[in-house]
Amino acid sequence: MTAPVFLVPELPAGSSYLLDGSEGRHAAAVRRLGPGEPLVIADGKGGAAACVVESVEGKTALSLTVSRRWQDPAPAPRVVLVQALVKGDRGELAVELATECGVDAIVPWQASRSVAKWDDGPRGEKALARWRSTVREAAKQSRRTWVPEVTAAVNTTALASLVSEAAGAVVLDSRATTGLIDLPLPDDGDLIIVVGPEGGISDGESDALAAAGAQVARLGPTVLRTSTAGAAAIAVLGVLTRRWR
């Protein structure tokens, strides 16, 4: 298995580093890493350093020796998942799976048929914080040096503006006659994938996004839930574009 990844605010300039705080406690007390074991520290922006544990400082920190540094390039095209808000923990499942499959940014969308509602107060902030925390942990679990950005929630008007500025955009709709694998896709820039709520995207929303430049396509022969459609689409794009090459 590849070395575990721990996220730090900034990579060290020297050859030693003290991994403390919440990441240090997790490495020492939960993962029980000991002297001689490898790990990777990353800044969430593609920068990473391979390290070896020199010593354990109680149960709260590890003293590390840095053996190698590198910078992973940002994938191209940059895949942005627009995920409609869904009730319960399916939204968190959606962003977790999308992160594991390589998404670069996530935009929560307050679709007209979304049962879940994020207000502008503490409740909405708490829900957004859960998505961001889920994405951060999923990035570490999947050994990513890039942590996807999770923006504030948008309405359909704001989403149409994002679509108009992107290099490409696809609205996933099981009613579409064109498949995702048949669409022309950009080589660079932002490629937006829009996943609607369990009740589907309304005709008005579909028309507004199409007017802004989005293509409408079906993912495959079966109908996936909103919590899995985004991850499946991102995996397909990994093959159809140069992201996985």
Per residue in 149-190, pLDDT (tens digit) is 999 999 999 999 999 999 999 999 998 999 999 999 999 999
Q: What pLDDT was estimated at residue 19? A: 97
Q: How confident is the model at residue 1 (pLDDT cuts 50, 70, 90)?
A: low
CATH of residue 160: 3.40.1280.10
Q: What pLDDT was estimated at residue 58? A: 86
The pTM of the full predicted model, rounded to 2 decimals, is 0.94
Same domain as 113, residue 152: yes
DSSP SS3 for 241? coil
Please say which residue of 53, 71, 89 terminates a domain: 71
Same domain as 214, residue 176: yes
Q: Is the predicted pLDDT of residue 234 greater than 90, yes or no?
A: yes
Please say which residue of 71, 86, 111 terminates a domain: 71
Same domain as 236, residue 153: yes
pLDDT tens for residues 72-111?
A: 999 999 999 999 999 889 999 999 999 999 999 999 999 9
Tokens of 12: 């060290």
Average pLDDT over residues 203-225: 94
Backbone angles phi, psi at 62, to 5 degrees: -125, 140
Q: Are 77 and 187 in contact (CB under 8 A)?
A: yes
User: What does the alpha-carbon distance between residue 82 and residue 111 come to, in Å, rounded to a whole number?
Assistant: 10
Backbone angles phi, psi at 117, to 5 degrees: -130, 130
120: which residues sit within 8 A by CB, 6+ positions away? none
Number of domains in the chain: 2
CATH of residue 64: 2.40.240.20
- pLDDT > 70 in the chain, percent: 100
pLDDT tens for residues 18-43?
A: 999 999 999 999 999 999 999 999 99
Q: Do the domain assignments include residue 90? A: yes
Average pLDDT over residues 49-64: 95
Q: Is the predicted pLDDT of residue 223 greater than 70, yes or no?
A: yes
Same domain as 120, residue 179: yes
Q: What pLDDT was estimated at residue 120? A: 79
Same domain as 51, residue 172: no
Same domain as 232, residue 115: yes
Tokens of 156: 């359909």
Please say which residue of 18, 42, 71 terminates a domain: 71
Q: 185: exposed, middle or buried (C-beta count within 10 Å: 0-12, 13-18, 19+)?
A: middle
Same domain as 110, residue 209: yes
Q: Do the domain assignments include residue 125? A: yes
Average pLDDT over residues 118-136: 92
Parallel, antiparallel or unpaired: strands 47-57 and 61-71 = antiparallel
Same domain as 91, residue 67: no
Same domain as 41, residue 94: no
Average pLDDT over residues 53-65: 94
DSSP SS3 for 156? helix
Q: Do the domain assignments include residue 245? A: no
Going by the DSSP 8-state scheme, the letter that residue 152 receives in this structure is -
Q: What pLDDT was estimated at residue 40? A: 98
Domain that holds residue 51: 5-71
Q: Do the domain assignments include residue 96? A: yes
Q: What pLDDT was estimated at residue 121? A: 83
Same domain as 229, residue 110: yes
Same domain as 155, residue 114: yes
Same domain as 55, residue 168: no
